[in-house]
Chain A
């Protein structure tokens, strides 16, 4: 039982390049989330998927797109990377039924945009 997994762990991009961050969970959770964490800013929600087939914007969605591929997988795409997107990206999941809203995090992706 791996929990939440993310790939890649590290990535360096040049300005304007694109990439997709992958996330998968094996806990049969309904909801999945993408956050970024920057020094002094805390965790900020980029997008979330309340259930398979739905996605919604969070606090900082500009410059990102997401796909809920199936119940297990939720990907985050940067179409044209900018230095302001240098950050640590975390994926999380939660059951979101029966009052169980605890979120469980993956190990993170450390992205640098030069």
Chain B
């Protein structure tokens, strides 16, 4: 059973701080990793994808991947109240698979 684990939160950070969201996965053969943001009552929105070990930056967002530790994280710099949402980690396991396995999400609250 492939598993993707996230701390459910809520994670509260003050406005302007760095929010750090973490995700671990069980399948060592996993190849592709994604972060989605989901506002309450809305659908998941893709914000980052990462495929190789290391860091990938996009604006205020940085995704970090460590395949040896089976760990992927998302950093949000200069957090804004509009970043308050649930963040979903998703993992694509093997080369022939079309499926993503989603974590249950971490709820982030940015306090003004």
Contacts and interface: CB of A to CB of B under 8 A. Distances in A.
B34 interface: yes
Interface of B: 32, 34, 42-46, 49, 51, 88, 90, 92, 98-100, 102-105
A48 B88 contact: no
Contacts, number: 44
Given A101-B32, A101-B92, A90 B44 contact: yes
B85 to A, nearest CB: 14
Contacts of B90: 103
A104 interface: yes
Interface in A39-77: 40-43, 45, 48, 50, 58
Contact of A41 (B32, B46, B104): B104
10 contacts: A31-B98, A33-B99, A45-B100, A48-B99, A50-B98, A94-B98, A99-B51, A102-B46, A103-B90, A105-B44
Contacts of A41: 104
A97 to B, nearest CB: 11
Interface of A: 31, 33, 40-43, 45, 48, 50, 58, 90, 94, 96, 99, 101-108
Contacts of B51: 99
A107 B42 CA distance: 7
B98 A48 contact: yes
Nearest to B43: A105
A107 B48 CA distance: 19
Contacts of A42: 88, 102-105
A48 B99 CA distance: 8
Nearest to A104: B46
